[in-house]
């Protein structure tokens, strides 16, 4: 029998540290969530170690001095660690909004122990099993940096101590990387803000790093990393290159500028509005054309700062680098997707109907015009099922994929299971922005069939004819069947399944199935999606938020950022991060 591996058993683990230099305001938590999601969608598990918001620790020290008047270190440490506790909780909320399965852990919940001077202590131990166990349910664990627990209470690790927390976690968890995310993209010969001629390093050994980093990385953290053989990466948000601090010869870096991109967004519904928010939050990276909508006056009322147009020529003016199609439908949207690639733009779309119909043609257009085509959000919302399939299929033989892949149907079935009325549940799913413009697309299984066709392409290299995918409609589900399921302690779910038939052709269907409550899909609540991928020797499980503004916008935005990195020559458009950890491991071994 196959062993069921939860996605938590993924082989790669990253420790990412976010310091105060990237935490100027609460808006930065969304940026950090993008960075974390970038790793998660390549199949990595992430421990995110976080500092306090910029200035907060200073404020807490001042507050402690004000109230305590030369209080001893123990009392001050108890106060100043609150900045990190608050920051970890906020990052947890930002990740929840983005639909990334996350657990936030305080030091006492993972037995993170320390000893020494209460304001300059060292970490001495962590309950590794307790931390790793949380990856059964979560892709990300958020931990506050800068302090640990002792018999007599919390102690802090000195200024910059979150670097030390990250290094120690990477060591104890045998992580593939300890990446310290700063407001500069690596270690320079001099402060690049003050000396424009300063050179960045690709890699440095520990001692040199201590000499030139001048506090950019905490000294104690570099010493600990050297002692424990942990490779440190120093990087900026959104970049796929870094300065690596390891037992290596120093090497200067090639300059790799991120190119500012012009983006045309087509459509401003639940997802389009979220993507525009994300793009506008990165004014140094993106210029936004007026957004294509049917009626600009309707959207302008809530978004006075944003330009709208009903004219495609205006939305597509100035040869956009990326066209982001979020209109839905297979009429005009389909034409615009094709013409975007033909006219020399990269294309990002969440339009599963267009992809399911036209993938072969769009792929060949992208190839012919040497453009990027990305559609991660078309399946799974923020759940990176296509990315996972892509990392599996070169190495493993997939036998079948089945899943709950329509958030609206799951939301409705979950509500019906709880005793809600059908019409109320549909209205609620619409109000929450999960349903398609015409919710019958969800209810009749058409949306799931489109997604299944795309999944089949990534699992088996074949895209089935949509007419060959039978589907059972939720609208035709008699209330007695729900009642009978409940009495038998079963739960009804809409499941899409595809596998290879004996003739080597893909067989796919969308059906309503009554499942025992122990089944992995039975516990999927609200708009959740979940997938079981059966490979020759094991079955993988993946779940996440399958619909809604923020998880879907997260996925679209990740595609845009990937393309930007690929255009800058910093990474291939896919799996850019997946290969890095191996490189690190090899270096460590050599
Ligand atoms: N209507 C879709 C759903 C949106 O409910 O799953 C996400 O593709």
Is the CB–ligand 1 distance for residue 447 below 6 Å? Answer: yes
> pLDDT of 97-126, one tens digit each?
999 999 999 999 999 999 999 999 999 999
What is the 436 CA–ligand 1 centroid distance (Å)? 6
Which pairing describes strands 177-182 and 232-236: parallel, antiparallel, or unpaired? parallel
Asked if residue 178 and residue 30 are part of one domain, the reply reads: yes
Ligand 1 atom closest to Cα of residue 406 = 6
Residue 43 · residue 578 · CB < 8 Å? yes
> Exactly one of 451, 493, 543, 545 is catalytic; which is it?
451
Domain encompassing residue 267: 261-381
Same domain, yes or no, for 268 and 249? Answer: no
Q: Is 451 a catalytic residue?
A: yes
- Specify whether the CB–CB gap between 384 and 555 falls below 8 A: yes
- Verify whether ligand 1 is closer than 6 Å to residue 381 (CB atom): yes
For residue 575, the SS3 value is coil
Residue 71, in any domain of the structure: yes
In a domain, 574, yes or no: no
Classify strands 45-50 and 13-18 as parallel, antiparallel or unpaired.
Answer: parallel
Distance 528 CA to ligand 1 centre (A): 10
Q: Please check whether residue 143 lies inside any domain of the structure.
A: yes
pLDDT, mean of residues 450-473:
96
DSSP-derived secondary structure letter, 474: G
| Closest atom of ligand 1 to CA, residue 350 | 8
Three-class secondary structure of residue 124 per DSSP: strand
Three-state helix/strand/coil letters over 256-308: CCCCCEEEEEECCCHHHHHHHHHHHCCCCCEEECCEECCCHHHHHCCCCCCCE
Q: Which two tokens stand for residue 475?
A: 């609208």
Strands 538-545 and 506-516: unpaired
Cα of 9 vs centre of ligand 1, distance in Å, is 28
Q: Decide whether any atom of ligand 1 lies within 6 Å of the 435 Cβ.
A: yes
CA end-to-end distance (rounded Å), the chain: 39
Strand partners, 533: 401, 540
Question: Would residue 560 count as lying in a domain?
Answer: no
184 and 311 share one domain = no
Half-sphere exposure of 467 (CA within 13 A, CB side): 0
573 pLDDT more than 80 = no
pLDDT of residue 250: 85
* pLDDT tens-digit map of 245-281: 999 988 888 766 678 999 999 999 999 999 999 999 9
Residues 6+ apart with CB under 8 A from 183: 21, 22, 236
| 240 Cα–ligand 1 center, Å | 31
237 and 297 in a single domain? The answer is no
Query: Residue 214: its pLDDT value, please?
Result: 83
What was the pLDDT predicted at 379? 98
With CA atoms as reference, report the closest residue to 466 among 340, 355, 349.
355
Extract the tokens encoding 545. 């938020």
H or E segment to which residue 221 belongs: helix 219-228
Residue 98 is assigned to a structural domain of this protein: yes
Closest CA to 91 of 134, 145, 45: 145
For the record, the structure tokens of 126 come out as: 């962590």
Q: Whose CA is nearest to atom 4 of ligand 1?
A: 547
540 lies in the same domain as 438: yes
Output the domain CATH number for residue 173.
3.40.1160.10
Q: Are residues 169 and 70 in the same domain?
A: yes
Cα–Cα–Cα angle for 546, 549, 555, rounded to 5 degrees: 65
The length of the chain is 590
DSSP code at position 193:
T
558 CB near ligand 1 (under 6 Å): no
Whole-number pLDDT of residue 577: 35
Q: 584 pLDDT exceeds 70? A: no
CATH code at position 274:
3.40.50.720
Split at pLDDT 50, 70, 90, the class of 590 is very low
Ligand 1 pocket, mutate which of 547, 554, 555 (most atoms under 8 A from CB): 547
436 lines ligand 1 (CB under 6 A): yes
Mean pLDDT (whole number) for 523-550: 95
Does 213 share its domain with 237?
yes
How far from the centroid of its chain's Cα atoms is residue 320's Cα?
A: 25
Looking from the CA of residue 408, the nearest atom of ligand 1 is 5
13-22, 165-174, 276-285, 295-304: least confidently modelled range: 295-304
**55 and 163, same domain (yes or no):** yes
Q: How far apart are CA 335 and CA 358, in angstroms?
A: 10
Q: What pLDDT is attached to residue 192?
A: 81
Bridge partners, residue 140, by sequence:
46, 102
Distance, CA of 223 to CA of 160 (rounded, Å): 13
Residue of 91, 69, 82 whose CA lies nearest to 23: 91
pLDDT band at 301; cut points 50, 70, 90: confident
350 and 440 in a common domain: no
Question: What CATH number does the domain containing 532 carry?
Answer: 3.30.360.10
| Same domain flag for 490 and 351 | no
Q: Which of 256, 317, 264, 258 is nearest to 293 (CA)?
A: 264
Which pLDDT score is estimated for 152? 87
CA dihedral of residues 42, 43, 44, 48 (deg, nearest 10)? 80
Please give the pLDDT value at position 11.
54
For a pLDDT cut of 70, what percent of the chain falls above it? Answer: 94
Q: Is residue 267 one of the residues assigned to a domain?
A: yes
> 342 and 412 share a domain?
no
Please enumerate in sequence order all residues whose Cβ is within 8 A of that of 149, keeping only pairs 6 or more positions apart, or say none: 107, 108, 111, 112, 113, 114, 155
Which is it for the CA torsion 350, 557, 553, 302, positive or negative? negative
What's the domain count of the chain?
3
Which of ligand 1's atoms lies nearest the C-alpha of 411? Answer: 5
CA 74 to mean position of chain CA atoms: 38
Q: What angle do CA 227, 218, 132 make, to 5 degrees?
A: 65
What is the predicted pLDDT for the residue at 585? 34
Q: Of 379, 434, 440, 453, which is best to mutate to test ligand 1, by the most ligand atoms within 8 angstroms of its C-beta?
A: 434
562 domain residue, yes or no: no
pLDDT of residue 356: 97
- 442 CB under 6 A from ligand 1? yes
Check whether residue 112 and residue 227 sit in a common domain.
yes
The alpha helices in 325-351, defined as continuous H runs, are 332-342
Residue 9 has pLDDT above 70, yes or no: no
Beta pairing class for 490-500 and 506-516: antiparallel
Ligand 1 pocket mutation, candidates 269, 441, 442, 545, criterion most atoms within 8 A of CB: 442
Q: Specify the pTM.
A: 0.90
Q: Choose one of 378, 407, 425 to mutate for the ligand 1 pocket test, by most ligand atoms within 8 angstroms of C-beta.
A: 407
The helices-and-strands tally (H runs, E runs) of the chain is 21, 26
Place 72 in a pLDDT band, splitting at 50, 70 and 90: confident
Query: Which residue carries 């307790």 as its tokens?
Result: 130
Q: Check if 439 has its Cβ closer than 6 Å to any atom of ligand 1.
A: no
User: Nearest CA to 275 among 544, 556, 33?
Assistant: 556
Q: What is the helix (H) or strand (E) element at residue 122, kind and residue range? A: strand 122-125
346 domain residue, yes or no: yes
């Amino acid at each position: 029998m196959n062993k069921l591996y939860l996605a938590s058993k993924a082989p790669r683990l990253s420790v990412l540290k976010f310091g105060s230099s990237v935490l100027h305001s609460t808006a930065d938590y969304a940026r950090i969530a993008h960075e974390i999601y970038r790793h998660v969608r390549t199949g990595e598990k992430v421990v995110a170690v976080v500092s306090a918001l910029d200035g907060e620790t200073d404020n807490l020290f001042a507050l402690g001095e004000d109230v305590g008047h030369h209080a001893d270190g123990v009392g001050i440490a108890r106060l100043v660690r609150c900045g990190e506790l608050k920051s970890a909780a906020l990052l947890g909320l930002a990740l929840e909004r983005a639909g990334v399965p996350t657990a936030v852990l305080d030091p006492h919940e993972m037995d993170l122990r320390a000893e020494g001077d209460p304001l300059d202590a060292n970490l001495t131990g962590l309950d590794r099993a307790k931390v790793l166990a949380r990856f059964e349910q979560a892709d990300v664990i958020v931990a506050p940096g800068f302090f640990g627990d002792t018999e007599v209470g919390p102690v802090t690790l000195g200024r910059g101590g979150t670097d030390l927390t990250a290094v120690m976690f990477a060591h104890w968890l045998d992580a593939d990387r300890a990446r310290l995310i700063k407001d500069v993209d690596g270690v320079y010969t001099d402060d690049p803000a003050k000396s424009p001629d300063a050179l960045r390093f690709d890699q440095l050994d520990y001692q040199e790093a201590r000499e030139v980093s001048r506090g950019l990385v905490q000294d104690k953290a570099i010493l600990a990393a050297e002692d424990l053989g942990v490779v440190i990466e120093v990087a900026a948000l959104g970049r796929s290159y870094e300065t690596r601090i390891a037992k290596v010869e120093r090497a200067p870096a090639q300059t790799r500028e991120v190119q500012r991109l012009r983006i045309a967004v087509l459509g401003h519904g639940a997802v389009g509005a979220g993507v525009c928010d994300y793009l506008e939050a990165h004014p140094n990276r993106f210029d936004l054309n007026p957004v294509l909508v049917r009626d600009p006056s309707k959207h302008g009322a809530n978004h006075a700062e944003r330009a709208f147009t009903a004219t495609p020529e205006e939305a597509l003016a100035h040869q956009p680098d990326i066209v982001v199609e979020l209109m839905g439908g297979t009429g005009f949207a389909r034409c615009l997707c094709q013409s975007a690639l033909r006219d020399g733009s990269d294309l990002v779309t969440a339009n599963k109907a267009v992809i399911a119909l036209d993938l072969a043609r769009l792929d060949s257009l992208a190839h012919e015009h040497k453009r990027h085509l990305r559609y991660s959000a078309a399946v799974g919302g923020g759940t990176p099922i296509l990315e996972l399939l892509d990392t599996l299929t070169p190495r493993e033989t997939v036998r079948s994929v089945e899943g709950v892949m329509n958030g609206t149907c799951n939301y409705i079935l979950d509500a019906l299971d709880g005793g809600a009325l059908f019409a109320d549940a549909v209205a609620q799913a619409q109000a929450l922005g999960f349903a398609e413009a015409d919710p019958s697309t969800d209810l009749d299984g058409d949306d799931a069939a489109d997604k299944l066709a795309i999944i089949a392409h990534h699992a088996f290299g074949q895209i089935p004819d949509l007419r060959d995918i039978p589907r059972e409609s939720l609208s035709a589900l008699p209330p007695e069947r729900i009642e009978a399921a409940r009495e038998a302690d079963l739960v009804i779910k809409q499941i899409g399944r595809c596998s290879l038939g004996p003739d080597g052709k893909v067989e796919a269907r969308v059906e309503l199935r009554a499942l025992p409550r122990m089944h992995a899909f039975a516990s999927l609540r609200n708009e959740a999606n979940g997938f079981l991928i059966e490979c020759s020797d094991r079955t993988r499980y993946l779940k996440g938020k399958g619909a809604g503004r923020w998880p879907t916008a997260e996925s679209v935005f990740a595609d845009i950022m990937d393309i930007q990195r690929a255009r800058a020559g910093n990474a291939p458009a896919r799996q850019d991060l997946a290969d890095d950890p191996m490189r690190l491991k090899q270096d460590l071994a050599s």
